[in-house]
Structure 1
Amino acid sequence: MIKNVFLLILLVVIQSCKIETSKNTHNKIQEKKEIENIVSGKTLYNIDNFKISTKYKFVNEINSDTLNSYLYQDLNNKIFYRINVNNLIHNLKSIGLEKFNLSYRKSFFDEYEGNLKNDKCDFKIVTFKNKKAITNNFIVTNNNLINNHLALLKAKSITTLNITKAYTISVIAEPETLETAFDAFIRDFEFIYDEDAEKYISPKYKYEILIPDGYVPEKANGSHIDFKVVSRDPLSIVTIDVSERTKEELNISAHDYTLDFIKNMYIQTNPQEKITSTEKIYIDNIEAFLVKSINESRSTNVIEIYFYKDNYGYLMTGTCKTIDYPECENKFLNTFYSLNFF
């Protein structure tokens, strides 16, 4: 089973020592819509559980039930970036696992390393984002990427595992620029939900969510608040409020919300809050509605995300002083997007 997974990765992840890109020009599959529609500031929050700077404007080349492939081309500098995400959940379930365990990881990397050794590839075992990973250096031949088949391009990739997916991050460039481009690309890449990070697990509502750095759990004083963490420096609060859906809410999703609806709701419940922006997003592939607001009289900023799951309505809230908002905004969003039902 692991061998089949590895062979699939070899075929679609640019993962051999020698690649003839001209052979792949007719394999393009129609772009998957809205695959990267979660954007805030300078960070792209991706439904494949990674975040990266929006300067990498991905074009989704391949998508299926098991693989999504993201490509960015810097034609001015002749650099080509790719992230391939291979979802192994079906393979895991076939052997009774919900996510990677130590045995699966060992088998995966043993098979991977064995194939690279057999092909006499230039590879190295490394640590990436506190996880075991393999880097691979290779040469791209017969390339038509820059309309010059005589040009020499080299490539470097790194592959690691997180939860149920294999991530391969690759860069193709001219030899003198490859290392710098590759180092910058993997430095910009981060997991939204990292299985090794500290997290809160809700036994009642069956979800996990990361506890952001610098925050500590605190007992909630509201009957519907299931999750509350607080930071003292800067002072900020993150909560999740869970309540039973009303009859009116049973047949709608948060994407049915509109700006006018939210404005009317705020007039009744938060009249001093001024809405600065709204956005339809996804949380763990669930339709959600994000609202950013400011209370000028209290000098506070708030991010709220509404969504429904089964018989419950969820409200995730991040609150901080306006002066601290530039620092807190990404922490709030990173935490919210990390929510994962199990």
Structure 2
Amino acid sequence: MIIGPPPKFHGTRDILVEHPLLADADAREIFRLEHPVASSAPAQIFLDAILAVASTIASRSDLLVTSREVLLRDESIVTDRVLVADPELAIVLTALQLRSRGVYPVYRAGGGAFEVSKDLFFHAASYALTPAGHVLWSVTLQNEREGAPDRLAYLVQAVMTRVARSLQARDGVLRALFGRSGNNRADDALFDFDSSMLFLSGAFDACAVLVDDHLGLDSSPMSVGWGRKSWLNQVKAKQSEIGSLLATGSENALLFEILGALRNTVHGEGISQTQYKSEIDGDRTLLRLPPRAGQKFIDAMRVVDPTGQIEVRELAPGRIYIEPLSAVVILYPRILRLLNELVAIVAQMASVTEVRIDFKAYPSTSATKNNIIFDESIAASIRRQLWL
């Protein structure tokens, strides 16, 4: 199922969480006259749904949170004055609106919700979504105490910081696409999409340097990179797990090609944005890929996404477009999981013995930085908020 177009969530008023509403029989009859039943749903269910939407509007709310299928699926009920969402999407939208106002909430099991700084929120998010970073950081610090060069710690820090920055830019894409329509919407989405992919690529680059160091390849800086075939072949020859993970033609190997096409570089053409109008979809924000992507990108997407969940359109020969919302919601987490697998392999190479982090060793009553980063319930709440 293709995601989009994204609903308009203005977030200017309150949110109404559904409960039994307007059970008055006279009110039902009034709405029966004003809203003829044209739905495939049974009449009573349809009327109940209309009453729920009307009550949301009457209460001056933007968002109706419900699990009722008729409300979520029947387009004849939906209006542009209210957004109907299931609880999972409602969490995403509400948290996104809060973050746009500078409020970064997290939830700890048994300790309730509280606010943290933006820096800490995305720092914790980087570890929540790249958990192997916990192990790699611990291993690197242990090795540093035993005389390993401290530049490795800086490289690990670079990986995790770039993931955090990428997540922060991805948040900007969601804000642009879910916010009010306007002249700046598409440009804002492109700017943050490009930034998110650039930082994510940077995290992979720093991880490649770590791999080169731990394998003792001593390669020149310009020759290190997952897109450098000569270097990658050396890595695969010395590290079988990476060889299996990035086997030629595999989905993981193709993800690298896709990521390369989705980021601007200092060489050649870049990504541009456009507003696509369709009688079916209405106004759409699409990102046009540079000509270098070509048929190779389409072929890679067919392997990685055979069911077409990520929207890719060739609107004219050689003009390939991708819908940014489906890219950051479906494709982005897959690329992030690949990074986590590579980080886990680096951690294994860095340590002979397995290192485990005991989350229970951190007291749950304190909201200090380490306790937030290492708390599993907080990590789960962040993943839900970020739609990842």
Give the greater-gyration-radius structure (CA): 2
Higher relative contact order (CA 8 A, sep 6+): 2
Structure with greater strand share of residues: 1
Scaled by the length of structure 1, the TM-score of the pair is 0.29
Instruction: Give the TM-score normalised by the residue count of structure 2.
Output: 0.26
